[in-house]
Amino acid sequence: MRDTKVSGKSPRPSSGLRPPSPCAAGRRATQPGGGPSPRLRGDAHRESPRPSSGLRPPSPRAAGRRATFRLLLLALLLLPSCGGLLSRKQTNRFFSLDRVPPASVTNKTGAPVAIDVVELPPGFDRRDIVVRKPDNQLEVREREQWSASLEPLILHTLAFDLAARLPEGMVVLPGQPIPAAKRSISVMIESIGAGPENAVVLDTHWTLDGASHHERIAIDVASLDSASIATGMSQAVAALADRIAAGL
């Protein structure tokens, strides 16, 4: 018969957990307050699963396609504004007719004269500078324009050129009161323009008191650029004023 020793202490109930190993107990004891080590806390943080949103993150290829689509959409939205900026940068150039001083003043007397009308060939009374090309073609320079429509521009310039070649008061200028006794000048331009040769040609008929006069004026220019054409046109109008003053 075996003797059984009975301890005075009652056995602790089992919790179902194995006691920690000496190494784990040592690591736990190294932390102040008995808390777990940072490594254990990090492990616990990594082990805790994040709540799932139900959406898978986009793949790099899908993200690239989305970025490309956004860039294309932005380009389409900015295209009209870019076109406006481009059109503003390509501004028009404007040219005028200059008055050319006369070599001398023609001594004429009689009733004052006024240029009532200047008529241009169809298609030339416009602001765009027109250049004649071979084979009866015309080049219309939409971005290089006269300061006004060519017909009133020639009338205004011709009137002041003619007034500079006659005694004061002999020409009724545009905007001045028209006297009761005046003589009317009508100018019908049959052909006008530059090209295809490097020249500005003015072929015209002008009438005064029922008498008609034909003048053909050709002014050589350095080139057919718009600035040279404007200079040649100014000289042609001045030459017409010279011939009208001499024919009064």
Q: Is the dihedral of CA 7, 10, 15, 19 positive or negative?
A: negative
Which band of pLDDT confidence, cut at 50, 70 and 90, is reported for residue 65?
confident
Which band of pLDDT confidence, cut at 50, 70 and 90, is reported for residue 76?
confident
Q: Assign 188 to helix, strand or coil.
A: strand
Smallest CA-to-CA distance from 224 within 132, 105, 88 is with 132
Task: Give the tens place of pLDDT for each residue, 109-151.
Answer: 999 999 999 999 998 999 999 999 999 999 999 999 999 999 9
Which band of pLDDT confidence, cut at 50, 70 and 90, is reported for residue 5?
very low
Bridge-based pairing of strands 137-146 and 93-95 is parallel
Which band of pLDDT confidence, cut at 50, 70 and 90, is reported for residue 97?
very high
Q: What is the pTM of this model?
A: 0.65
**Per-residue pLDDT, 54:** 58
124: CB partners within 8 A, 6+ apart:
130, 150, 192, 193
Q: What is the CATH number of domain 110-247?
A: 3.40.50.10610
154: CB partners within 8 A, 6+ apart:
97, 118, 120, 187, 189, 237
**Per-residue pLDDT, 21:** 55
Asked if the model's pLDDT at residue 78 lies above 90, the reply is no
Using an 8 Å Cβ cutoff, are 122 and 71 in contact?
no
Smallest CA-to-CA distance from 169 within 184, 182, 152, 186 is with 182
> Residue 181 — φ and ψ, nearest 5°?
-100, 105
DSSP state of 34: G
Which band of pLDDT confidence, cut at 50, 70 and 90, is reported for residue 71?
confident
Where do we find the tokens 């793949």? 59
Q: Count of H helices and E strands in the chain?
A: 5, 7
**Per-residue pLDDT, 81:** 59
Average pLDDT over residues 51-64: 65
Q: Which has the minimum average pLDDT: 19-28, 93-102, 149-158, 187-196?
A: 19-28
Q: Is 25 or 189 the better-scoring residue by pLDDT?
A: 189
Asked if the model's pLDDT at residue 1 lies above 50, the reply is no
